[in-house]
């Protein structure tokens, strides 16, 4: 099977809940084997790890969401203490659980569950690895991109992927924040805000079914004006954010910079690109270094 010789697979970390869940389902179909007992995810809070897990394991109850945090004690810990694992698959978020449980106890419970033939899905796996002493059968890092690996005794190891995931996430946050500023600027100029999103490294792509007669220089200028104001960007609900006092629809409300002024080196490609396969026109925005 191709996944047994996989070095790494790299995907754009997509915008929005639905696309992240769909990517999780794809990763599960392509790279997970029935005998993979330990699945590790690495990435900062809000990067989308839990949404990937939802796509990979649709029936799994996550212990770090609003519905799961009240389940105490943690199922894997309770079963480890009883010496009998009632479930076939367990989830834990190491960063969250460290507020309640010592790392060595979490590691021992994971080790026992894996030995008993259970599957354990661990978020923030890099925090547990040194104590656990076991690498994951499938290791997934979520930063600007989603990197999927099938480690061997020669690696890759969690700290290698953690360095990438944490360092690169800022570009994804900047891109999402800049893209949402278009949702303010476009209506100001008499156009509907973009609704179809695609991806490009250190930037974003929005698609249109027809070529817009819009002054992209003016669009870029207005976005820069919002950036220079240093407006706060805040989560409002699962479908909206606040930029200053303006309520904006957003499919990924938890992944933004704190202020518009944190967006570095924003620029737009000044010509729309045509996609003959999708028959759409693409507007590309970029952030960060060239």
Q: Please check whether residues 126 and 232 belong to one and the same domain.
A: no
* Residue 71, pLDDT score: 62
Q: For Cα atoms 212, 214, 216, give the angle at the middle one, nearest 5 degrees.
A: 120
pLDDT band at 1 (very low <50, low <70, confident <90, very high): very low
Q: What is the CATH classification number for the domain harbouring 182?
A: 3.30.980.10
Q: Give me the mean pLDDT over the 252-281 stretch.
A: 93
| pLDDT of residue 271 exceeding 60 | yes
Q: Do both 93 and 227 map to the same domain?
A: no
Mean pLDDT in residue range 92-102: 92
Q: What is the CATH number of the domain that holds 100?
A: 3.40.50
Residue 265 and residue 126 share a domain: no
pLDDT score at 89: 93
* Whether residue 124 sits in one domain with residue 249: no
Of how many residues is the chain composed? 290
pLDDT band, residue 286 (cuts 50/70/90):
very high
Determine the pLDDT at residue 66. 53
31 within 8 A of 136, measured Cβ to Cβ: no
Q: Is the pLDDT score of 26 beyond 90?
A: yes
Range of the domain at 20: 2-156
Q: Positive or negative CA dihedral for 39, 44, 47, 48?
A: positive
Q: Is residue 98 one of the residues assigned to a domain?
A: yes
Residue, of 167 and 289, whose pLDDT is higher? 167
* Mean pLDDT for the stretch of residues 268-290: 90
Lowest mean pLDDT among 3-17, 76-90, 128-142: 3-17
Residues 150, 196, single domain; the answer is no
Phi then psi for residue 27, to 5 deg, are -60, -45
Residue 163 lies in a domain: no
Enumerate residues 6+ apart whose C-beta is below 8 A from 82: none
Q: How confident is the model at residue 192 (pLDDT cuts 50, 70, 90)?
A: confident
User: Residues 79, 185: one domain?
Assistant: no
265 and 190 in a common domain? yes
Rg (CA), the chain: 21
pLDDT higher than threshold 80 for residue 230: yes
pLDDT of residue 98: 92
Q: Cα–Cα distance between 46 and 59 in angstroms, integer?
A: 21
List strands edge to edge, sheet with 240-243.
Answer: 233-237, 240-243, 246-249
pLDDT tens, residue by residue, 33-86 = 989 999 999 999 889 999 999 999 998 988 876 554 556 788 999 999 998 998
Report the chain's mean pLDDT, rounded to a whole number. 91
Cβ–Cβ under 8 Å, residues 120 and 89: yes
Mean pLDDT of 223-244: 95
- Is the same domain home to 14 and 124? yes
Q: What is the pLDDT of residue 75?
A: 92
For the chain, what is the domain count? 2
Question: What is the structure's pLDDT at 68?
Answer: 47
Instruction: From 156, 188, 215, give the residue that closes a domain.
Output: 156
Quick: pLDDT tens for 148-188: 999 988 889 999 999 999 999 999 999 999 999 999 999 99
Choice between 195 and 96, residue whose per-residue pLDDT is larger: 96
- Domain identity same for 145 and 236: no
- Residue 142 near residue 123 (C-beta atoms within 8 A): no
**pLDDT for the residue numbered 169:** 93
Residues 100, 124 within the same domain: yes
Please tell me whether residues 178 and 54 are part of one structural domain. no
Task: Write down the pLDDT at residue 67.
Answer: 52
Asked if residue 17 has pLDDT above 90, the reply is no
| Residue at 61 is within a domain | yes
């Amino acid at each position: 099977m191709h996944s047994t010789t996989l070095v790494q697979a790299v995907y754009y970390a997509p915008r929005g809940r639905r696309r992240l869940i769909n990517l999780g389902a794809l990763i599960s179909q392509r790279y997970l084997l029935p005998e993979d007992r330990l699945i590790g995810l690495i990435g900062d809070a809000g990067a989308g790890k839990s949404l990937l897990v939802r796509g990979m394991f649709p029936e799994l109850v996550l212990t770090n969401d609003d519905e799961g945090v009240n389940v105490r004690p943690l199922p894997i810990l309770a079963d480890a203490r009883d010496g009998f694992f009632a479930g076939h698959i367990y989830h834990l978020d190491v960063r969250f659980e460290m507020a309640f449980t010592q790392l060595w106890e979490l590691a021992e419970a994971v080790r026992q569950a894996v030995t008993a033939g259970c599957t354990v899905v661990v978020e923030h796996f890099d925090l547990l690895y040194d104590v656990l002493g076991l690498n994951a059968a499938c290791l997934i890092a979520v930063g600007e991109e989603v990197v999927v690996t099938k480690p061997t005794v020669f690696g890759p190891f969690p700290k290698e992927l953690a360095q990438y995931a944490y360092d690169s996430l800022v570009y994804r946050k900047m891109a999402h924040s800049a893209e949402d500023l278009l949702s303010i600027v476009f209506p100001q100029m008499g156009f509907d805000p973009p609704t179809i999103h695609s991806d490009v490294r250190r930037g974003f792509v929005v698609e249109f079914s027809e070529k817009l007669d819009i002054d992209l220089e003016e669009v870029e200028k207005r976005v820069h004006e919002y950036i220079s104001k240093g407006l706060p960007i805040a989560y409002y609900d699962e479908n909206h954010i606040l930029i200053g006092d303006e309520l904006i629809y957003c499919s990924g409300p938890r992944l933004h910079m704190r202020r518009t002024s944190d967006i570095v080196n924003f620029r737009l490609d000044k010509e729309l690109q045509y996609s003959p396969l999708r028959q759409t026109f693409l507007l590309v925005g970029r952030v960060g270094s060239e």
